[in-house]
């Protein structure tokens, strides 16, 4: 019996010892696991923190260029090649492609920077997770996972913040662009600003000139200076020079270029109204004399027209024409006949008055250009003109020509050659939409007619009287044709010279004043001393 009790007691003690050993092992293992978990949590937390810091540092390093693989750069060359923008160039650059300039940092380069940061974060996370591949996996897994998670937390935090910043900047840019474009459009409309090239064979018309980079070593031509993808208020050329945007700001500072022929335009082109005065008429009708007298009058009698009025030549040929006109006027000599040229160069001038300034183009084509429609076809500036000056030489009218032959001036005064009506038709037959155009019919050499006329009526100075005089001397057919083509016809009579008061007929500046007002400009004279009266198609009279 005692032996049985001893065995039982031994078994109980053995079981107790086993339980205690198992319990001790369990407690030990639990403590080890808890210790390991604690260390893992600490390591994971530290790794997470390190990852977040790394995720925030990576953008700085990438943008600073500390990484081998930096962001793609939206260079001017890529802009020019069309690789930066998804859309093709529009506006003034539509036919040329994007200009050679740096794009706005936001959003175009900024987008590349964001992509580069995400790429770098992805590469770092791949390296971190790659440390788990090996026998040390149990030791490296938790810190690698924590670091990677923290890395993307930091990176995505930066990305979200910068994305929000990008959206705010884009919205601000959009508002600013609309404001600047509206301001530019309003300025152009108020000023009636446009650009008209006077170069032979070009005669291009546009609202937006091109501009040459001021860096002589660059030579890039910027076709569209509208605020947009290449700048909001200023633009950085591919060479690094900063250019002002909008035509109103760029034109006074940069060299303007004709977008059609790439020839330099006058300073300030595109910021002022352009008044074209295309003069038509047969050979020796007095076209050059009329333009020369007008230019000389603005130079010599500017203060009589308006206080402080000045005229400045905007090209070498215009300066020579003005100098010759003034000298010939003062010497009372007739100007040299215009040399026949199929595509003559116009004479651009800047006329500045006390209240406004405008660009005036005197367009003098030799009479040979108006013999037939084929000859006049090369004068493409006539297609864009809205007001024409058609000269009628009264000395070529048979009844007046008879008086000239009987006078002492016979053979001393040049007389128009060819048909006046053919000269008119050579131009007008090619024009479309005549309803929006105006014409001034100008009877020249009034002073000569006054000297030779004995029985014929003197030429009146008002529009209705001039019209009646032309009918009386047999030009009723020409008048009927002109008035059937144009709804707005005004008649003038001018002297061969520019003597007399500039605001009184028959001074040639009356015609110039009409051309200015017909194209939306302000009158040269504050008040018309004598108004010209225009005749419409219906025969009604209207003050011009």
Q: What is the mean pLDDT of residues 95-117?
A: 94
What pLDDT digit, counting tens, does each position of 31-44 carry?
A: 877 777 777 788 78
What pLDDT digit, counting tens, does each position of 142-195 carry?
A: 888 888 999 999 999 999 999 999 999 999 999 999 999 999 999 998 889 999
Contact call for residues 277 and 198 (beta carbons, < 8 A): no
Of the chain, the percentage scoring pLDDT greater than 70 comes to 91
Separation CA 286–CA 308 (nearest Å): 29
Q: How many helices (H) and strands (E) does the chain have?
A: 16, 16
Higher pLDDT, 330 or 361: 361
Separation CA 225–CA 195 (nearest Å): 15
Rg of the chain (C-alpha set)? 42
Whether the bond into 135 is cis, omega within 30 of 0: no
What pLDDT digit, counting tens, does each position of 339-374 carry?
A: 666 678 899 999 998 778 899 999 988 767 776 667
Whether this prediction's pTM lies above 0.85 is answered by no
All structural domains of the chain:
274-543 (3.40.50.300)
Using the predicted structure, report yes or no on whether residue 271 has a pLDDT greater than 70: yes
10 Å CB burial of residue 406 (0-12, 13-18, 19+) is: exposed
Tokens standing for 472? 């009386």
10 Å CB burial of residue 424 (0-12, 13-18, 19+) is: buried
The residue among 395, 394, 391, 401 whose CA lies nearest residue 367 is: 391
Question: E strands along 239-385, which residues?
Answer: 242-244, 255-257, 274-280, 310-313, 347-352, 357-364
What pLDDT digit, counting tens, does each position of 398-411 carry?
A: 988 888 888 887 87
Separation CA 306–CA 528 (nearest Å): 12
Separation CA 156–CA 122 (nearest Å): 12
Q: What average pLDDT does the structure give for the chain?
A: 86
């Amino acid at each position: 019996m005692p032996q049985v009790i001893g065995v039982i007691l031994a078994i109980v003690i053995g079981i107790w010892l086993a339980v205690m050993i198992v319990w001790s092992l369990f407690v030990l293992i639990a403590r080890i696991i808890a210790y390991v978990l604690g260390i893992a949590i600490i390591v994971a937390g530290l790794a997470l923190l390190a990852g977040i810091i790394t995720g925030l540092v990576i953008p700085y390093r990438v943008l600073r260029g500390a990484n081998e693989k930096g962001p793609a750069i939206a260079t001017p060359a890529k802009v020019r090649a069309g690789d930066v923008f998804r859309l093709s160039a529009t506006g003034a650059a539509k036919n040329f492609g994007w200009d050679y300039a740096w794009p706005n940092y936001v959003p175009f380069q900024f987008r590349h920077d964001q992509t580069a940061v995400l790429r770098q974060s992805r590469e770092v996370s791949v390296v971190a997770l790659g440390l788990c591949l090996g026998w040390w996996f149990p030791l490296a897994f938790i810190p690698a996972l924590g670091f990677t998670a923290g890395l993307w937390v930091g990176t995505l935090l930066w990305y979200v913040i910068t994305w929000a910043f990008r959206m705010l900047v884009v919205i601000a840019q959009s508002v600013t662009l609309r404001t600047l474009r509206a301001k530019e459009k309003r300025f152009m409309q108020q000023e009636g600003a446009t650009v008209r090239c006077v170069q032979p064979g070009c005669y291009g018309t546009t609202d937006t000139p091109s501009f040459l980079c001021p860096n002589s070593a660059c030579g890039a031509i910027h076709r569209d200076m509208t605020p947009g993808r290449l700048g909001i208020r200023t633009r950085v050329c591919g060479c690094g020079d900063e250019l002002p945007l909008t035509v109103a700001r760029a034109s006074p500072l940069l060299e303007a270029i004709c977008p059609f022929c790439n020839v330099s335009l006058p300073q300030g082109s595109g910021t002022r109204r352009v008044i074209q005065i295309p003069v038509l008429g047969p050979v020796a009708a007095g076209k050059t004399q009329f333009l020369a007298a007008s230019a000389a009058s603005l130079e010599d009698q500017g203060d009589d027209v308006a206080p402080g009025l000045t005229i400045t030549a905007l090209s070498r040929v215009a300066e020579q024409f003005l100098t010759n006109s003034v000298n010939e006027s003062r010497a009372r000599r007739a100007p040299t006949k215009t040399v026949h040229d199929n595509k003559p160069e116009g004479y651009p001038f800047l006329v500045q008055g006390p209240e406004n300034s405008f660009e005036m183009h005197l367009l003098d084509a030799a009479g040979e250009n108006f013999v037939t429609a084929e000859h006049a076809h090369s004068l493409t500036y006539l297609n864009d003109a809205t007001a024409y000056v058609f000269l009628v030489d009264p000395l070529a009218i048979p009844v007046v020509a008879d008086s000239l032959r009987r006078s002492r001036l016979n053979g001393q005064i040049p007389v128009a050659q060819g048909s006046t009506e053919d000269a008119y038709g050579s131009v007008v037959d090619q024009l479309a939409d005549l309803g929006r155009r105006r014409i001034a019919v100008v009877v020249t050499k009034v002073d000569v007619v006054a000297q030779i006329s004995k029985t014929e009526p003197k030429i009146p100075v008002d529009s209705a009287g001039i019209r009646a005089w032309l009918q009386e001397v047999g030009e009723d057919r020409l008048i009927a044709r002109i008035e059937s083509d144009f709804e707005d016809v005004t008649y003038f009579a001018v002297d061969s010279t520019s003597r007399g008061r500039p605001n009184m007929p028959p001074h040639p500046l009356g015609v110039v004043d009409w051309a200015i007002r017909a194209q939306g400009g302000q009158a040269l004279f504050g008040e018309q001393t004598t108004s010209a009266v225009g005749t419409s198609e219906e025969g009604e009279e209207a003050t011009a």
